[in-house]
Structure 1
Amino acid sequence: MVGYEKDDINAHKKLIAGCTSGVVTRFITQPLDIIKLRTQLQKTNPRKAYKSQWLPTAMRIFREEGLFGFYAGHNLGQMHSILSVSSQFYVYEIATSYADHFHPSNTHQPYIRFLCGIFAGCCSTTLVLPIEVIRVRQMLVNEQYRGIFNGAVMVYRSGGVLAFYEGLSASLMQMGPAVGISFGTFSYLQPALLRFLHDRDCGADGDCAHSTSNKYKPEHILMASTMAGSAAGFLSKTATYPFDLAKRRLQIASHDHNRKYKIPTTARRLFKCRNLTQCILKTVKKEGVVGLYRGWAITIFKAQLTSVIAFTTYEMMCFLLREMDV
Structure 2
Amino acid sequence: MATSITTTSGANHLTLEPNPTQQHQQRTSTLRNVRPFLIGGLSGMLATTCVQPLDMIKVRLQLSDQGTKHTVKPSSLTVARAILSQGRISDFYQGLTAALARQIVYGTCRLGFFITFEDALKTRAENNKTTYGFPQRAFASVCAGGLAAAIGNPTEVALIRMQSDGLRPIGQREGFRSVVDAVIRITRSEGLFALWGGCAPTVIRAIATNFGQLAFFSESKHQLRAHTNWSEQAQTLTASAIGGFCAAFFSMPFDFVKSRLQSQQNAQGSRGKYNGMFGCIVKVVREEGLLRFSRGFPAYFSRMAPHSVISLVIMDKLASIFK
Q: Same fold (TM over 0.5)?
A: yes
Higher RCO (Cα < 8 Å, 6 or more apart): 1
Cα distance between partner residues in 1 of 2:121 and 2:316: 21
- Residue 136 of structure 1 corresponds to 160
- Residue 311 of structure 2 corresponds to 310
139, 144, 150: which is aligned to 2:181? 150
- Residue 212 of structure 1 corresponds to none
Matched, 1:233 2:264: no
Q: How is 1:60-71 mapped onto 2 (pairs within 5 angstroms)?
A: 60-71=82-93
Contact kept, 8 Å, 1:11 with 1:90, in 2: the verdict is no
Deviations 1:26-65 (A, max 9, x none): 110110111111110112542347x562110111001102
Contact kept, 8 Å, 1:23 with 1:82, in 2: the verdict is yes
Q: How is 1:140-179 mapped onto 2 (pairs within 5 angstroms)?
A: 140-141=164-165, 144-179=175-210
Any runs of at least 4 consecutive aligned residues in structure 1 with deviations exceeding 6 A, and if so which? none
Contact kept, 8 Å, 1:17 with 1:318, in 2: the verdict is yes
Task: Flag the 1:12–1:153 CA change in 2: closer, same or farther, 3 A.
Answer: closer
100, 115, 119: which is aligned to 1:78? 100
Cα distance between partner residues in 2 of 1:85 and 1:297: 23
Q: Which moved more, 1:140-149 or 1:129-138?
A: 140-149
Q: CA deviation at 1:98?
A: 2.9
Contact kept, 8 Å, 1:253 with 1:274, in 2: the verdict is no
Task: Flag the 1:24–1:221 CA change in 2: closer, same or farther, 3 A.
Answer: farther
Structure 2: gaps (5+ residues):
1-30, 167-173
- Residue 205 of structure 1 corresponds to none
Q: CA deviation at 1:292?
A: 1.4
Matched, 1:249 2:249: no
Cα distance between partner residues in 2 of 1:154 and 1:144: 11
Contact kept, 8 Å, 1:249 with 1:272, in 2: the verdict is no
Cα distance between partner residues in 1 of 2:54 and 2:203: 22
TM-score by length of 1: 0.79
Q: CA deviation at 1:255?
A: 5.5
Percentage of identical aligned residues: 22
Kindly provide the amino acid, as one letter, of the partner of residue 70 in structure 1: F
Task: Mark the structure with the bigger radius of gyration.
Answer: 2
- Residue 146 of structure 2 corresponds to 122
Q: CA deviation at 1:72?
A: 0.6
Q: Secondary structure in 2 aligned to 1:251?
A: helix
